[in-house]
Amino acid sequence: MKKRVISLLAALLLILPLFASPLPKVEAANVVNTPFSAVFSNFDSSQWEKADWANGSVFNCVWKPSQVSFSNGKMVLTLDKEYGGSYPYKSGEYRTKSFFGYGYYEVRMKAAKNTGIVSSFFTYTGPSDNNPWDEIDIEILGKNTTQVQFNWYKDGVGGNEYYYNLGFDASQDFHTYGFEWRPGYIDFYVDGKKVYRGTRNIPVTPGKIMMNLWPGTGVDGWLGPYDGRTPLTAEYEYVKYYPDGVPQNTPTPTPTPTPAVTSKPTPNSSNFVAVFSNFDTNQWEKADWANGSVFNCVWKPSQVSFSNGKMVLTLDREYGGSYPYKSGEYRTKSFFGYGYYEVRMKAAKNTGIVSSFFTYTGPSDNNPWDEIDIEILGKNTTQVQFNWYKDGVGGNEYYHNLGFDASQDFHTYGFEWRPGYIDFYVDGQKVYRGTRNIPVTPGKIMMNLWPGIGVDGWLGPYDGKTPLTAEYEYVKYYPDGVPQNTPTPTPTSTPTPTNGIGFRKGDVNGDGAVNSTDYAAYKRYILRIINQFPVNDLRVADLNDDGKIDSTDLSKLKRYLMRVIPEL
């Protein structure tokens, strides 16, 4: 991992709106198929409605019609304190009465700025409309209004978050944001410029056009903690919809290409093998800085040493500096692209720490943040965690049960990175394939050992034990893929749950993992869209063991997936 805030979201889930008012199922007559334009000079009750209910879930407010107002040709949503009700805050949601299908949607808006809140423009339909939950989101998080988050859901399954750097502060002036929704893809626009295309699991059901402003609860890892500041406002000038697509007078330049590695050598395209008998200054460098964020140490060259044919990273106390600990990071000077990467290493064992092998590039290289991780968490060295990031978007964590203790002996760990997939290996055996949002930018090969801070739910609390060491025997890279003399048996099946009771709490679809797909199934069950889970076993779904399955179990699963709690 390198210079980043761990995305404790997982991205995998997050906004899960529950719109409580019962509405008729979408019929053809209710779907608008002609151009639609709304300039917000006043409240048009024939076309729009002001929400007057509460969503619940992560929305820590009640919607009140009083919080939707019109002034100087703008529609204004106001978040304020609520007294004497079930929620501490009240805010506004404005939505169409009609449904809209494929086409181009655009809003001109100015977002609210404050940690813990969201200003949004989106389409939604769901169980309250007697439809599947299909949704397309443009969301500006108040904690960082220089970015916009795009996301979408099909039948309740999301996990498609993408963050785009705007190049301006969305809370300072009005800008246009839009998306063109078609079968098979969604193109997202900012100020008339196409900036991102999504092609995975695209929604199909017409939805209502909506805007809202809301404070979160239980999602501090995503939105940041809300400090209770009020009033806050988000302003909207207009909404437009064109069923035939982006109008001709709207600029539609080609999407910006992924930035190339600049001012760096051409990515290595030949076999590369490093056996760690000594420090090769031609190929490698020792980090001499601090990452900050969740890394509670400073990198020091003194913490990278060589002994008995091994490179050793040592985590120890640091005296008189800005950090309580110092440790080592070893990295190549060159960049490497698609191919097979392998390390032979022995991890450190202690709660609160990480021993890693990974590729990384990012803003420090004038590149997007692309990364592929093999991480062994010191709290459980019988597992390895795989993960990857594309343009700063992660949430792809997968835990593989090793069948051995990675801190007791040397083992090989590797990955083959190709356009469209990453295959992960342990001791020459392919154990997992990832296919979603695969990185594309060449990166440097890196290894580090570090203690965490503020991520106890993920790593466990670090107890300050020192010194701790992680040892590395070699690193290999083969651009043509796994070498022929490396065993490549069929991937192992998903590991059997290790809780010793024959089932895994929360894995209601029985695929061996607990993730956003299970979360979506819980939502559908609680909303009575389905009447049983694929794994029809109360012991699996009843997370708090109270003999029933309800929103308390859903809340516990959400907290687990966001790493607020370490286990179910």
In angstroms, the CA 437 to CA 394 distance is 8
Going by C-beta distance under 8 Å and a sequence separation of 6 or more, which residues neighbour residue 516?
A: 10, 12, 13, 157, 158, 159, 561
Return the closest-CA partner of residue 1 out of 448, 527, 472, 545. Answer: 448
Following DSSP, what letter does each residue of 141-163 receive, concatenated? ETT-TTEEEEEEEBTTB----EE
Catalytic residue, from 135, 371, 397, 471: name it: 371
For the chain, the farthest-separated pair of C-alpha atoms sits apart, in whole angstroms, at 79
- φ, ψ of residue 72 to 5 degrees: the values are 55, 40
Return the closest-CA partner of residue 365 out of 385, 341, 336, 343. Answer: 336
- φ, ψ of residue 545 to 5 degrees: the values are 55, 40
Is 93 known to be catalytic? no
CA–CA distance from 324 to each of 352, 457, 556 (Å)? 14, 21, 34
In angstroms, the CA 186 to CA 295 distance is 36
In angstroms, the CA 89 to CA 79 distance is 7
Handedness of CA 31, 36, 39, 43 (dihedral sign): negative
Return the closest-CA partner of residue 445 out of 421, 475, 422, 407. Answer: 475
CA–CA distance from 28 to each of 24, 33, 251, 417, 466 (Å)? 12, 10, 31, 46, 67
Catalytic residue, from 375, 397, 416, 471: name it: 375
What are 444's two structure tokens? 């440097």
Alpha helix stretches (DSSP H) within 107-223? 220-223
Q: What DSSP element (H or E) covers 412?
A: strand 411-418
Return the closest-CA partner of residue 559 out of 222, 269, 232. Answer: 222
What are 249's two structure tokens? 């007078």
Handedness of CA 284, 286, 290, 295 (dihedral sign): positive
Contact 407, 346 (CB under 8 A): yes
Going by C-beta distance under 8 Å and a sequence separation of 6 or more, which residues neighbour residue 214?
A: 55, 59, 60, 61, 79, 91, 117, 118, 120
- φ, ψ of residue 250 to 5 degrees: the values are -100, 125
CA–CA distance from 417 to each of 237, 333, 372 (Å)? 45, 20, 9
Residue 67's SS3 state is helix
In angstroms, the CA 200 to CA 202 distance is 6
Is 27 known to be catalytic? no
Question: Which amino acids are annotated catalytic?
Answer: 371, 375
